[in-house]
Structure 1
Amino acid sequence: MDTPEEPWASSATPSSRPASPKSGRSSRTARSQTSSRATEVTPLLARDDASDDEEDETEQPPARRSLLQALTGSTAGKLSVWRKRWPSILALLLLCILAVLILLGFLATEGMEEYAMQAAEFKPTKLSLDSLTKTGVRVQVEGDFRMDASRVKKQSVRNIGRFGTWIAKEAETGAADVDVFLPDHGDVLIGTARIPGIKVSIRNGHTTHVSFLADLEPGSLDDIRTIAHDYLDGQLGDIRVKGKAAVPLQSGLIHLGKQLIEESVVFGGNKLPALPKYNITRLNIREADKGHKGMGADASLLITNEFPLDFTVPPVSVNVLVDGCSPSDEHIMLGTAETESLHIEPKTDLNVNVTGRVEKLPEALTEACPNSAKSPLDSLLGDYMHGEAATIYINCCNFPDPETPQWTRDLLKDITVPVPFTGREMGDLIKNFSLTDVEFFLPEFFADPDSPEASPRISAVVNVLIGLPSEMNFRLGVDRVMAVADVFYHKKKLGVLRLDKWQKANSTRIEAHGEEGPSLLVSSDVKKAPLDVTDSDVFEEVLQAVIMGEPLLLTVKAAVSVGVDTPVGKFAVRDIPAEGVVPIKRSRRANVHRSAIGGGKPGHGDKKKNPMSAINLKLGNLSILDTSRSSITFGALINFTNPTNYSATVPYFNINLLVNETIIAQATTENIRVLPGNNTNVPITAVWDPLTHGGEDGRLLGAEFLSQYISSFNTSLTIQTHDNTIPAQPFIGRVLSKFPLTFPTPGLHSKAPSDDPEDPEDPDKDKDSPHFIQDATMHILSSTALFILASPFSTTTLYITNLNATAFYEGNPSGTILYELPFAVPPGLSETPRLPVDWSFGSVGYEAIKKALGGTLRLSAFAHVGIRIGEWKETVWFKGGGIGAHVRL
């Protein structure tokens, strides 16, 4: 007979429903099969919902009535009943044990373990520090526990787990100690957590809010510090953490005993918690408070807190360190920083006020590193000012509060945390960089081409206007400056100006005004800084602009280093980026000049005004220094005008002198200083040697030029540089050679030329008057003539070796002089010997001379003259007009 199905009672009161006893084995077999079928389709544990409580009331089976009667019957019948019913009692007991074993076996299966590991989800909502204990900390943990079957990957495991947890409803753990190890690091014990009992719902979709206090104790402090150092140094890589605990477990009234739980979690290096992000919202660098030395700093930091942490950090003091010369060097102590007690709230950004102090900069911080010109401080400030990430180190920790437990001091001592901070571009720190009173120095004549002396050099007053950041509120002075500057013209690099040696400087603080903040004006008188020209084409453009009188702006991009004097001592701040403009303008004096005329290359001379004629060249004090058979070495003094605002020191400068594009001489000057405006009595040396430079054609051209010159013709010379103008820098002469200067030939003066730009001794003035022949006297009866000559030389005697001359009156010959004996023309004015005259009797000219007897007659002359100076000889012609001749008997 079939027995109606009935759920089992609560596991605390298990029962069975066997059928009524009947005779025969078939009855017992039927009852057993009926009971088995009921067991397979009914729940093992009773439900606690309404449907489970409202079971159908049915009449008790005979077997139960018999058992109850046997258990509650009279004493006399107890033994008889027991003997008859013991198989039923034993079957009932075995069935109860079997039910419990089935439940425990189900909960202990690997499927349930897999389900529990994947479906369980715990989200912490708050982690707060309740208190510090002598051995650790007591924390309060709050969070939400939830079983989510959808997180389970295998459907079979998901179905079994949902069914099992639906039966068990909830689970409870007893108090347990959880040990956390690092198995890959020698099973280092990180710490132990003492966790109280927790009861949670394990049904799918149910959420249990959990709140408990746990005591945390650190493990081996030395091992923890070692692991922390590896993590901070970036050497930890992947890390495997293993938790191990013996947890008492029960579900309802079923005690499952202590379960040994071990679980490992691997964290990749990129998944380890990173240091929180921060932003410096306020920074004030000042002098130290009264009673302290050095400097102080006040900073406010906004720290991003993404963790559900709630605890109070006691007051703490740390040491601030920086890198040494190399990564292997010990960090260098810079100063200290302190914070007050700080309360951290869950997932709430943190405002931290930090006070720092630096008493004195250690020598190791400011001394240059081996094989380097930079110190560790230079490297740190350099990275910061170029916007690169710099790093300081926080060495933890000192706790001023004596109530702070000793274990915290032991745990955190010698922990050094690298703190990267983003640099600040300091391109706007220097507001202006300029050069004034510029003086150029041309390369030395004998300089090695690769030496600094082979480069043009500049002396100037360097002015640097440094904008002081608002954060800097302390005494600051600058006593030296150094810079390396790239010089650009029209965005093309001209060269590099190297102020790579410390120059003395002085500074003046300029207080804030209007919207402008405070600044510091630094001035330094720089001497002979080399200018390395890197692009000769750009240099040519610059020279052309200067020569043409165009306003010229050079852009300078420099890395400026300054030596500063602060309350913590003197040190250098190197390579501050700076940018400025250096104007190069021609002097106003250049507006007063003459136009160049005559000769020279096409495009120069009278066809086009040459702005270089503003140099206003004059020649005087001409003297002969040496001679050879083909050359004469002259010494002279010249006056000229420098049309720029810049000075120059010229150790050696050589130029070619040309006539009709043919070199006839070279001029050299050494060790002179050229100033803006008029420059007077500048010594030069010139070598006249047209034969060497131009061969026989050159010699003839030279003789023709001398003939025109002494005859007061309009002559001109062209000066032009060449590759050896400045031997140490050939390209300078090559560039300048593209700008030849043609100017009227200066007059010959026996005295130094006047430095007056309006000097009446203009070579263009009274061009018909002779310069060489000053006066003449004609003697009719003796048929001789006497001339007064003006030598152009101040110390050298000129010899006339032969003379073939004819005098004219209004174009008619008056007489001829043919003289083959040499005579001397000493410096200054001199008188010639009486030279024989062959009169042109009967000619108009001769008649005019007779009529002028006792008076003066103006004659003209043409002559071929042989001249000699030392070893040099030449024959020239002379044509002069307006010669005042006195006629005597």
Structure 2
Amino acid sequence: MATPDGQFASSNAPSSRPASQKSGRSSRSSRSHPSSRTTEQTPLLANEDRSHEDEHIDEEEIPETPATASLLQSLIGTTKEGKFSSWKKRWPSIVALVLLCIAVILIMLGFLATEGVEEYAMQAADFKPTKLSLGSLTHTGAKIHVEGDFRMDASKVEKSSVRNLGRFGTWIAHEVESGPTDVDVYLPEYGNVLLGTARIPGIKVNVRNGKTTHVSFDADVEPGSLEGIRNIANDWIDGRLGQIRVKGKAEVPLKSGLIRLGKQTIEKFMIFQGNDVPSLPAYNISKINIHEAKDGNKGMGADAEIDITNQFPLQLTLPPVAVDVLVDGCQPSDKHIMVGTAETPRLDVEPHTDLHVNVTGNVEELPDSLTAICPDSAKSPLDSLLGDYMHGDAATVYINCCKFPDPDTPSWARDLLKDITVPVPFAGKDMGNLIKNFSLADVHFSLPDMFADPDSPEASPKISAIIKVDINLPKEMNFPLDVDGVKADADIYYHNKKFGKLNLKKWQKANSTMIDANGDESASLLVEAQIKDAPIDVLDYDVFSEIIQSLLGGSKPVMLDIKAAVSVKVDTPMGSFAVREIPAEGVVPVKPIGHGNGDGDGDKAGFNKSALNLQMGNLSIIDTTRTSITIGAMANLTNPTNYSATVPYVNINILVNDTIVGQAVGENISVHPGNNTNIAVKIVWDPFTHSGDKGKAIGAEFLSQYVSGFNTSLTLQAHNGTIPAQPGIGFVLSSLPITFPTPRLNTPKKPNDGDGDNDPDNDPPSEDGKTHFIRGATMHIISSTAIFTLSSPFSSTTLFITSLNATSYYDGHPSGKILYDLPFAVPPGLSDTPRLPVDWSIGSIGYEAIKKALGGTLQLSAIADVGIRIGQWREQIWYKGGKIGAHVRL
């Protein structure tokens, strides 16, 4: 009987059980009511060695024998580290084995349940099962075959008085035999529900110290309350089963030799806790193959090979089983979503032999609840499952047990196992370098409009391109797959430093092509997507500056790392659906802009500015002030890169000798690879406003050298206002000024009026081959006048020369001087000046040379101070022309 502490009771009873007691089992089996369950904080019983227990637990409170611990360890299995290995989750066999273990313990205790030797029996009895096999399933339960060794070991008894008394008593008894016995097993903390009943035949054992009896018998096991078993199973599966306490009760008829000892009523409590509670078996998926469904079935099929560890002395045959495979919904409280079915064939389990199981599965179509976006989320349940798997994290699927294709499977087994759902961790697979190659073609950049708010999405630079992604396909995937849509949220890195984001929030149309495996190359899927105006957010302008410098100054491609969450619309045999935020990584090589003669180390090759081939023409004055002149022009240039761009607005400083003298402004500019012609630009020349008196002086000097045909250069440098909506980009580009030779101005020639003398084509070319402001001259000796042919750089604007102080030279010797203070116009193109008075240097070598050239031509040079006016703008410059072809006339 149970003691007040509820741990153990043992009492002698009359040889016959009252009728009411016999009928109590059936009534108890139908009762199942909630009770207070033991938690992890409840003091638990120890396993085996009582001598190692501390002050928290008394021996009198824990009447557990070494036989109990030995039997349980043999049934459950223990690793070298003392941790119990996994239990094969087949509830018919579990129920049968638990009942059988308790039955054997009760019978062995019953052999020795006299007051004199009871304590001795509790500590000395030892039973080790050597074979447990499930013979067959019956309509009411299962037939079990048990083999094991029973032995009394007096050395385990702590008290010498008990040890001596026990050895004496068992020496006299020699052998003890039990009669057929029914053992009932209850769950006290689950409303004392009947777990099951074991019918044990008579057993005879030698009880003398050190003697071993090999026991072999068959037993019938019947499950009790199926609902109670399912309750404890669900608690175990959900991790709420910190411990479990079971109670065994039996009336055991005993005899020793010819002496009948009557029936002994025995109750035994056992507690399983911690590692005593079995867990799911250890398994490994050694092979998996996903393919189109076979035999005319719809959807996709899967074949898997699973190796399961079996460290138990169990022998049984498991019938074919079919299960439903489910996954989590949006919330933990949501109902699980069924995605497919799986089946295992008939399995023959041998003692201590690992199992190799072939599993077949089938998914006909994916339910809408699996692919629909969850509330307050951007993912579907399928996205979460695949995301965990592809990150290498353990995903969780659920097995809803069980269906038995074999019609001979007993109905009690079907009822016991139905609606039991087991979570199964599904080890993720880090996909590694899933992207074999990632490239961009037909790249087009779009800069933001000048009126865009710098903090708004409209301020981000945008990219349009054809993305080409070659994706490695896992060898497990053997089914057709088509991608027709892509979007992504990508982080861009340079040298492991994140500098930007590429946001493809809208679906981009895509197509895909399967590429078969070739040799060592696995099969892949080539996906091409046309992206349009995808924003690029620059997050770190320091890193961005490094990239620009590498592109301009290097000869090797700049490698950008992409870490993206990619969403794809796919068409599969299961139907069309979207898979969102699949992790992907790749490397994008960006070809350098540099075309120098570096040695290929990516740092020493310089940007060849001459490759721009910048030319200016069709200059016209748009506006003037007292200090500035705004010039409209058409530019031609060569884009040496493979990228095109659209620039709504750009403002770049123009520098001469590191001094700002003006700005170049472009609006709605489109640049494509190769030659670009007739690009409208606006140049604001205003040295004084930008740089004061110093700027004005430098500007005048530059104009003087330029119109004189000297080799001059300009520097273009970005600044914070270069792209108003993206000051950071302007700041980065400001550290990369571009200096190039000042482009020569192309001006139209004066129309041929039939006078060969006035035909510029007949003018002797300048000795230096350059275009000069003064293209030619005609000297009239008698009238002491000169007419000059001037080349205006403007196509539609007339400039005025307000003053002229010029001296002509022949071979370094002065020949004449012009002082003229009356303004005269210089119309667009080539034009002649009025007759300008010349003060000849009579008697000089230069003048004599002019007289000798009468009727012909003479090469003269000139130095002049010239006053210029265009609208309100005025400037005083000097001019030095060399080898001007002068015609000499009377």
Residues 380-423 of structure 1 show CA distances to partners (whole Å, capped at 9, x for unaligned) of: 11212222111111111112223222222211111011111211
Asked if 1:328 corresponds to 2:333, the answer is yes
Mark the CA change 1:534 to 1:628 in structure 2 (over 3 Å): closer, same or farther.
same
How far is 1:567 from its partner?
A: 0.5
Asked if 1:698 corresponds to 2:704, the answer is no
Equivalence for 1:93: none
- 3-state SS of the aligned residue for 2:369? helix
Asked if 1:877 corresponds to 2:889, the answer is no
Q: Write the distance in 1 (CA, Å) between the matches of 2:545 and 2:128.
A: 75
Equivalence for 2:641: 644
Equivalence for 1:265: 270
- 3-state SS of the aligned residue for 1:464? strand
How far is 1:781 from its partner?
A: 4.0
Q: Write the distance in 2 (CA, Å) between the matches of 1:505 and 1:286.
A: 24
Residues 256-286 of structure 1 show CA distances to partners (whole Å, capped at 9, x for unaligned) of: 3332222222222432111112222332222
Equivalence for 2:118: 113
Q: Which amino acid aligns with 2:376?
A: N
- 3-state SS of the aligned residue for 1:126? strand
- 3-state SS of the aligned residue for 1:377? helix
Asked if 1:565 corresponds to 2:575, the answer is no
Equivalence for 1:152: 157
Equivalence for 1:175: 180
Superposition map of 1:685-724 within 5 A: 685-724=682-721
- 3-state SS of the aligned residue for 1:793? coil
Residues 428-455 of structure 1 show CA distances to partners (whole Å, capped at 9, x for unaligned) of: 4433333334333444433333444434
Equivalence for 2:589: 583
Q: Which amino acid aligns with 2:270?
A: V
Asked if 1:657 corresponds to 2:662, the answer is no
**More displaced 10-residue stretch of structure 1: 350-359 or 411-420:** 350-359
Q: Write the distance in 2 (CA, Å) between the matches of 1:768 and 1:115.
A: 125
Superposition map of 1:479-498 within 5 A: 479-498=484-503
Q: Which amino acid aligns with 1:820?
A: D
Q: Write the distance in 2 (CA, Å) between the matches of 1:743 and 1:765.
A: 24
Mark the CA change 1:810 to 1:461 in structure 2 (over 3 Å): closer, same or farther.
same
Q: Which amino acid aligns with 2:828?
A: P
Equivalence for 1:868: 869
Q: Write the distance in 1 (CA, Å) between the matches of 2:813 and 2:168.
A: 149
Using the aligned pairs only, state the percent identity: 68
- 3-state SS of the aligned residue for 1:539? helix
Aligned residues: 761
Equivalence for 2:167: 162
Which of these residues, 709, 723, 736, is aligned with residue 733 of structure 2?
736
How far is 1:554 from its partner?
A: 0.3
Equivalence for 2:859: 858
How far is 1:358 from its partner?
A: 0.9
Equivalence for 1:239: 244
Equivalence for 1:789: 790
Equivalence for 2:450: 445
Superposition map of 1:411-560 within 5 A: 411-559=416-564, 560=566
Which of these residues, 300, 310, 320, is aligned with residue 315 of structure 1?
320
Equivalence for 1:55: none
- Whether contact under 8 Å (1:317, 1:397) holds in the other structure is yes
Q: Which amino acid aligns with 2:304?
A: A
Mark the CA change 1:767 to 1:656 in structure 2 (over 3 Å): closer, same or farther.
farther
Which of these residues, 316, 331, 346, is aligned with residue 341 of structure 1?
346
- Whether contact under 8 Å (1:440, 1:457) holds in the other structure is yes
Q: Which amino acid aligns with 1:863?
A: A
Mark the CA change 1:863 to 1:106 in structure 2 (over 3 Å): closer, same or farther.
closer
- 3-state SS of the aligned residue for 2:688? helix
Which of these residues, 229, 233, 237, is aligned with residue 228 of structure 1?
233
* TM-score (normalised: structure 2): 0.80
How far is 1:332 from its partner?
A: 0.3
**More displaced 10-residue stretch of structure 1: 559-568 or 375-384:** 559-568
Q: Which amino acid aligns with 2:291?
A: R
- 3-state SS of the aligned residue for 2:408? coil
Mark the CA change 1:769 to 1:481 in structure 2 (over 3 Å): closer, same or farther.
closer
- 3-state SS of the aligned residue for 1:425? coil
* TM-score (normalised: structure 1): 0.80
Asked if 1:125 corresponds to 2:126, the answer is no
Q: Write the distance in 2 (CA, Å) between the matches of 1:157 and 1:533.
A: 85
Q: Write the distance in 2 (CA, Å) between the matches of 1:410 and 1:848.
A: 128
Question: Unmatched 5+ residue regions in structure 1?
Answer: 1-103, 593-603, 753-763
Question: Unmatched 5+ residue regions in structure 2?
Answer: 1-108, 599-603, 750-764
- 3-state SS of the aligned residue for 2:544? helix
Mark the CA change 1:529 to 1:855 in structure 2 (over 3 Å): closer, same or farther.
same
- Whether contact under 8 Å (1:807, 1:859) holds in the other structure is yes
- Whether contact under 8 Å (1:489, 1:554) holds in the other structure is yes
How far is 1:574 from its partner?
A: 4.5
Q: Write the distance in 1 (CA, Å) between the matches of 2:164 and 2:648.
A: 101
Equivalence for 1:382: 387
Which of these residues, 260, 279, 282, is aligned with residue 284 of structure 2?
279
Mark the CA change 1:207 to 1:641 in structure 2 (over 3 Å): closer, same or farther.
same
**More displaced 10-residue stretch of structure 1: 394-403 or 249-258:** 249-258
Q: Which amino acid aligns with 2:675?
A: N
Q: Which amino acid aligns with 2:302?
A: A
Equivalence for 1:615: 612
Q: Write the distance in 2 (CA, Å) between the matches of 1:312 and 1:446.
A: 78
**More displaced 10-residue stretch of structure 1: 536-545 or 679-688:** 536-545
Equivalence for 1:391: 396
Equivalence for 1:802: 803
- Whether contact under 8 Å (1:718, 1:743) holds in the other structure is yes
- 3-state SS of the aligned residue for 1:447? coil
Q: Write the distance in 2 (CA, Å) between the matches of 1:174 and 1:449.
A: 94
Q: Write the distance in 1 (CA, Å) between the matches of 2:834 and 2:766.
A: 31
Q: Which amino acid aligns with 1:570?
A: S
Equivalence for 1:675: 672
Larger relative CO (CA 8 A, sep 6+): 1 or 2?
2
Equivalence for 1:823: 824
**More displaced 10-residue stretch of structure 1: 647-656 or 628-637:** 647-656
Equivalence for 2:189: 184
Residues 48-105 of structure 1 show CA distances to partners (whole Å, capped at 9, x for unaligned) of: xxxxxxxxxxxxxxxxxxxxxxxxxxxxxxxxxxxxxxxxxxxxxxxxxxxxxxxx99
